Chains A and B, each alone.
Chain A
Amino acid sequence: MLEKKDNNFNSPSKLNDELKSTITPAAAPSKLQMREMGPLRAMAASFGLPRLIIASFLLLMFIVAPFVGNDFWTQISNVINRFSWNAILVLAMVPMIHSGCGLNFGLPLGIISGLLGATLSIELGFTGPGSFLAAIAIATPIAIVLGGGYGWLLNRIKGGEMMIATYVGFSSVSFMCMMWLLLPYHSPTMVWGFAGKGLRTTISLEGFYSEVLANFLAIRVGENFKIPTGTLLFIALMAFLMWAFLHTKTGTAMTAVGSNPTFAKAAGVNVDRMRLLSVVISTWLGALGILVYEQGFGFIQLYNAPFYMALPTVSAILIGGASVNKASIANVVIGTFLFQGMVTMTPTVMNSVIHMDMSEVIRVIVSQGMILYALTRKTEGGGR
């Protein structure tokens, strides 16, 4: 049996092909199944029913909005802006899903690295666009170290990643809650005025890197409509890099580890190293994501803010059509747009229509329902 396998993998190029063949395309039904279902249902199945429902809901919102007195273009602009804040955070989910580590509920760890980068960059006296670059530069080594430790931990507990990831995230956030108070920060823009120590809960980025990306080549029409071109370009660049990485030899091997670890191991891929790499990339993207989020939002939020940042991000990529072990760049883009669209549109439209703010409740039900839906589906491929 073993010998037979060895024969199959004697040439490296063949190995790569074999690896690729084990990676089934996204969780779509086969062509044959589609033909049996008829065109309409086939379309629904390939697009995913929950995604279809949310997309139509969003469409309905866009149609209703002008009639109930909300300015259509303001709404569109809001949705695009919110999309630009969150897309990188959602992108951070991709590597870990690919390597079979499941949904990265430990995203707060990456966010913590980003926050450390952001605060240290201001503490060290950087201002303007330079502070954004400095924040990235400082956050990177922190993310690599934390991500490395986190990846090492996840390699020891294969099979229970998601639960432990959640609690690694929570413990690190609550640990940093103490640290924000204790670390010797002195910059007057960040510490509490009267005590002279301990960071504030929200720190304004005015004069630092507030909207540095967003204002680059920004398109403004009138007062209410603004497209943050720079941020979108940056997202496109990161998405392209991710796409390119997943098509390199390392990226392919990573996907193989996620699809079928036993097979990947037999093919000579170092499973643990691939997983570690994916976790490090994920954590780093989380750090980068929060920095991009901050530059759009204009504030750094510390203390309890990162606690529940993972859940909306996870549900965004799931709404985009990813599953626990399959995700693509398209999932990220569609998912972020749909989720942020829903989050932005519902409160305004709801308030105008029925004078009742149910948006928070709807957001919770939809996003958690989406995660539940993904968790209860049988995982495709021989993941576990």
Chain B
Amino acid sequence: MQENKSFGAKALEFIRNNIVPILFIIICAFCIPLSGFTPSYLLNEIVTRMGRNIFLILCLLIPIMAGMGLNFAMTLGAMAGEIALIFVSDWQIWGIPGVVLAMILQIPFSILLGLLCGSILNRAKGREMITSYIISFFMNGLYQLVVLFMMGSIIPIKHFSVKLPRGYGIRNTVSLLNMRQCLDNLLAVNIKGVKIPVLTFLIIGVLCLFIIWFRKTKLGQDMRAVGQDMEVARAAGINVEHTRLISIVISTVMAGFGMIIYLQNMGNIATYSSHSQIGMFCIAALLVGGASVDKASIGNVFLGVILFHTMFIVAPRAGAAITGDSMIGEYFRVFCSYGVITIALVMYETKKRRSQNRTAQELARAAAEETAKEAAK
């Protein structure tokens, strides 16, 4: 049936399936000349942002594989990473040792948070996304409780550069100046003014290989089975709840690593706001790359980061060039992020519904044939 389709129909279907990336390519192509940035500056920015964000976005892939949709609760991992970095900077351990220590330190936090999140999501099957979205808000409250009130009063925090002058709580920004870009600068290669953080990309490469390998393991196969159909997977003897729990824990731990990479690049922690937007931007970037709620690949991540962040860099300047008001561009890029997520969610739901209808029709036809056979007998 597929082969009979004309070229036009095929092209139409291709466009329909990839509407979001195509839309973004058009936006970028329109905005880049307007923004007036030099190509080398733009390239440099994009490479920096790739190093900064890809690890965080990759952590979304595993829950998608397990059929749990977009993990808005990846912020939990980000919080764990931030808490670890706060401790490390309180102990004044800087540079690569500091980053490594923070990465080790965040693992128990994020495992704990991941277990909590996973078990809540297991109780809300069928609406994982909205639940994970609310979990991220809920945990943000608990995070504030811990960081703003318990750190310094119950949890020992000593250093004055981290602690608020009142004696407890963490400052609004914690400077990571002494470990700023230490991962990125190690082994960095400079090609015509474009700095390429080789080590960061190597770490990302390792993670990509891990994900590819993980898909082939028994656990990875189980996750895909659970993602396809929970009931069938259960009938096949897979412990569905357990598998889903593990997928969230892995995602949260990876988000913790990702956040540390992100923050060492930024050079400071905005203690109470760094994590709050991370989930939204990562998800938007992934969706811009052409991923959907039930299907995402590593290629989507890379394409998404490039397109989304190009838009992010050029939009304010382009907006200012068109309307004379830079705020328009700022609002425009926020609108784009939300709009993309909305479109992707709507497309996923309509597709799901269409395929459900088709299955129902096929079942009805099969049942009708069955009865016809019975009658013939």
A-B contact count (CB 8 A): 110
Interface positions of A (Cβ within 8 A of B)? 105, 153, 156-160, 162-164, 166-168, 170-171, 174-175, 177-178, 181-182, 198, 311, 356, 358, 360-361, 364-365, 368-369, 371-372, 375-376, 384
Tell me the nearest residue of chain A to B149, going by C-beta: A358
Contact status A358-B353, CB under 8 Å = no
Q: Please give the number of chain B residues whose Cβ is less than 8 angstroms from any Cβ of chain A in the complex.
A: 39
State in angstroms the CA–CA spacing of A356 and B168 once bound together: 11
B131-148 CB mask vs A (1 if < 8 Å, else 0) is 101110110111011001
Q: Which residues of A contact B148 (CB under 8 A)?
A: 361
A-B pairs with beta carbons under 8 Å apart, 22 shown: A156-B349, A157-B345, A158-B353, A160-B348, A160-B352, A162-B127, A162-B130, A163-B130, A164-B345, A164-B346, A164-B349, A166-B130, A174-B338, A177-B334, A181-B323, A364-B140, A368-B138, A368-B140, A372-B120, A372-B134, A375-B130, A375-B131
Interface pick from B80-88, B254-262, B325-333, B358-366: B325-333
State in angstroms the CA–CA spacing of A23 and B332 once bound together: 45
B342 within 8 A of A: yes
Contact status A376-B353, CB under 8 Å = no
B174 within 8 A of A: no
Contact status A163-B345, CB under 8 Å = yes
State in angstroms the CA–CA spacing of A182 and B319 once bound together: 12
B93-152 CB contacts (< 8 Å) to partner A: 120, 123-124, 126-127, 129-131, 133-135, 137-138, 140-142, 144-145, 148-149
Q: Which residues of B contact A376 (CB under 8 A)?
A: 120, 123-124, 131
Smallest CB–CB gap between A303 and chain B, Å?
8
Contact status B124-A181, CB under 8 Å = no
State in angstroms the CA–CA spacing of A188 and B202 once bound together: 57
Q: Which residues of A contact B190 (CB under 8 A)?
A: none
Q: What would 10 more interface pairs be, CB under 8 Å, given A159-B349, A164-B349? A: A157-B346, A157-B353, A160-B129, A167-B345, A175-B335, A181-B327, A360-B144, A365-B145, A368-B138, A368-B140
A153 and B346 contact, Cβ closer than 8 Å, known pairs A174-B331, A178-B328, A181-B327: yes
Contact status B331-A384, CB under 8 Å = no
Please tell me which one of the listed residues B137, B145, B328, B338 contacts residue A171 in the complex, with CB atoms under 8 A apart.
B338
B248 within 8 A of A: no
Interface positions of B (Cβ within 8 A of A)? 120, 123-124, 126-127, 129-131, 133-135, 137-138, 140-142, 144-145, 148-149, 323, 325, 327-328, 331-332, 334-335, 338-339, 341-342, 345-346, 348-350, 352-353
Q: Which residues of B contact A311 (CB under 8 A)?
A: 137
A182 and B134 contact, Cβ closer than 8 Å, known pairs A156-B350, A376-B120: no
Contact status A178-B332, CB under 8 Å = yes
State in angstroms the CA–CA spacing of A155 and B332 once bound together: 28
Q: Which residues of A contact B140 (CB under 8 A)?
A: 364, 368
Contact status B328-A170, CB under 8 Å = no
